[in-house]
Chain A
Amino acid sequence: MQLLRYLQHWLTGRGPCLQVANFVPETHPLRQWADTFPWAALVAALDRSFARRFPRPSTRGRPPVSTRVLLALELLKHELACSDEQICSRLRTDLAVMYACGIQEVQVDGSQEHFVLPEVLAQFRSRLDAPLMEELLAIQAATAMADGLVSPAHLVVDTFPSEQGSQRVNDAATLYKAQKKSSRSSRP
C-alpha cells in the first residue's frame, strides 16, 4: 500500500482494477528474475543515501515516483537491452515489467500515455554514485550468500575492455546508418 501511495497520481484511473500477479505466470522469466532481488534492502539503502545527499527542503508537493519502480526500471533496462524511452513505454503496456517494478494492482485510464517519463529515470540515475553502487551490489551478494546460493570461497578475477562513447542523433549519423542499412539490405 505504501507503493500505491507514491504512485497514486497515475494509479487512480477509471478502468477496472487489475491484479498484476494474476496476469504474470510464476514461470515467467521476468517474474523469476525480479524475485531474486532483495528489494526492501536495496530501496532502503537508496532512500538512506538520497536523504543524506539530497535532503528535501519541504514535505509539500506531489509524492515522487517510488524508488522501487525507478531502480527496477534501471535494472530492467540492462536486462532487456532497452533505452530509457523503450523501458518506460513497456512499463505502461507490459504486465511482467509492472510486476518486476513491484506494482501489485493497476487501474489506468486508456488515454494515459506514460506511467514514468524517461526524464525521471535519467534524473534518478544522476543521483547514483560509486559508493552507492558498491553498496547495492554488496547487498545483493550478501543476500545470495546468506541464502546459501553462492559462496565466496573460490573466486576468479579478470578484466575486460569496454568502449566509452556516446551516440548523438544528428544528420550525419542518420545518413550513415541509412546508407549502412540500405547496403546491407541490397546484398543478395
Chain B
Amino acid sequence: MRRFGRQCRGMSKVFVTLVRQTERQLLEMGHQVLPLAWAAQACLHGAPQLPADQRVRLNIQLTAALEAHDRIETQSRRLTQGKALAHYKIVNAYDPTIAPICKGKSNCPAQFGRKPGIIAEPAAGFIFAFHLPIGNPSDASYVEPLVDKVEQAITRVRTRSTLAIHSLAGDLALNDATLREALHERGILTVGIPKTVDPLPPSPTPEDVLRSLDEADLHHIRTPSQVHLAYACGYSRPVVESIIASLLCHGVGHLTYKGHRGAIVQTGMAVMAHNAATLVRIHEYRLSKRARTFRRRLRLRCRKANHCNASIN
C-alpha cells in the first residue's frame, strides 16, 4: 500500500475522531433496533389474521432491512478507521463493492476504494490482464483469476504455439502453500514468490536450481535456464512499482466512473493505453539495460536489430 501511507496523518486525525464518534452512535442505535426487527418477524409468522400476500410482502421487507443492517454494521465497524476525504469528493461508504484499504499500513487511517491487481511482464512492463474484485480480498486470491486470463489470451495466439507461463513472481503477500501447489500443477515455477522477508538471490546456485525443480516437481517441464530467469524475475520484482506508477499517471489512482462496472472500464482503458505506450517503447527500443537483457534471453523481437545482440552467450 504505497499511496495513502503517511500523507493522511496530521489534521486528518480530527476527522477520524468525528467519524468514530458518529459511527459508534449509529452502531449503538442499530444494536437496539435489531432485536425489535427480529421480534417483528417472529410476530409476523404467528399472525394468521393477515392475508398471505401481505405477510409475504412484510416478511420480504423485514428480511431486506435485516440484511441491510448486517451490511451497514460491518462497514460501520470498518469506518471507525476512516480518513478525512477531500472536500469536494463524494463517496458512498456503504457501497458493498468498495472496502477500506487498510491492509499493510501501520498507524494510518484507512482510505476507501478498490484494489486492482495486475499481471505484467517485468521486462518492458506490458500488462497482460487485470483483476478488480469486490471488496478487499487477500492478494493471493488474485493470482488464479489473473493466470486464467493470461492463458485465455495465449489461446488467442494462433501463430506461436509454444507460448506458456513459466514462472510467477510476487511479494510476500502471495506466499501461500495452496497457491504454490495450484501454480505447480499448472507447470508454473514459484521461486519468484519469497518465503521470508530476505531478498531473493539474483542468480541461484546449481543446488538451488535443483531444489526448486524438486519442490515444484517440474523436472520434465521446466529447464534450469528457466529457473535462472524465474529467480531473476523474483529479484527484480520491485520494477512492478514503475508499472503501477505509470498506471496511476493514466488515472487509475482515482476512479471517477460510477460503480464497480465503471471502475473496471476505467482501469481497463487505462491499462490498454499504458500497454500501447509500452509497445511504442519496445518498437523504439527505449528500454532499460535490465529489460534489454531479459528480452535477449527470452529471444523477443526488437525493431532496431543493430542495437540487439540476440546471443545469450
Contacts and interface: CB of A to CB of B under 8 A. Distances in A.
7 contacts: A145-B160, A155-B122, A155-B168, A160-B3, A163-B113, A165-B85, A172-B88
Contacts of B301: 147-149
A130 B264 contact: yes
Interface string B139-150: 100110010011
Interface string A67-80: 00000001111110
Contacts of A36: 275-276, 279-280, 283
Contacts of A168: 88, 90
Interface in A151-183: 151-168, 170, 172-173, 176-177
B273 A164 contact: no
Contacts of B156: 138-139, 142
Nearest to B301: A148
A164 B240 contact: no
Those 8 A-B pairs whose CB atoms lie nearest each other, nearest first: A173-B88, A133-B268, A142-B156, A148-B301, A36-B279, A138-B153, A165-B89, A141-B153
Contacts, number: 267
A177 B88 contact: yes
A137 B130 contact: yes
Contacts of B272: 37, 75, 78, 136-137, 140
Interface of A: 29, 32-34, 36-37, 74-79, 81, 125, 128-130, 133-134, 136-142, 144-168, 170, 172-173, 176-177
Given A160-B244, A162-B255, A176-B88, A146 B130 contact: no
A113 B2 CA distance: 43
A133 to B, nearest CB: 4
A152 B150 CA distance: 8
A151 B226 CA distance: 13
B129 A137 contact: yes
Interface residues of B, number: 105
A74 to B, nearest CB: 6
B113 A158 contact: no
A98 to B, nearest CB: 17
Given A81-B250, A146-B160, A164-B114, A154 B276 contact: no
A148 B300 contact: yes
A45 to B, nearest CB: 11
A161 B115 contact: yes
B154 A145 contact: yes
A142 B280 contact: no
B98 A164 contact: yes
Interface of B: 1-4, 85-91, 95, 98, 101, 111-124, 126-130, 139, 142-143, 146, 149-150, 152-154, 156-160, 163-171, 173-174, 192, 226, 229-230, 232-233, 237, 239-241, 244, 247-258, 261, 263-273, 275-277, 279-280, 282-284, 294, 298, 300-301
Contacts of B160: 145-146, 148
B245 to A, nearest CB: 9
A145 B273 contact: no
Nearest to A174: B88
B256 A167 contact: yes
A173 B88 CA distance: 5
Contacts of A160: 2-3, 115-116, 118, 244, 247-248, 252
A141 to B, nearest CB: 4
Nearest to A128: B265
Contacts of A139: 156
A152 B256 contact: no
Given A159-B115, A173-B88, A153 B277 contact: no
A84 B283 CA distance: 30
Given A145-B160, A155-B165, A162 B252 contact: yes
Contact of B91 (A34, A137, A164, A172): A164
A125 B264 CA distance: 11
Given A149-B300, A162-B253, A163-B254, A156 B269 contact: no
A155 B170 CA distance: 9
Contacts of A125: 257, 265
Contacts of B89: 165-167
A163 B112 contact: yes
Given A153-B166, A157-B143, A160-B116, A144 B265 contact: no
Contacts of B268: 128, 133-134, 136-137
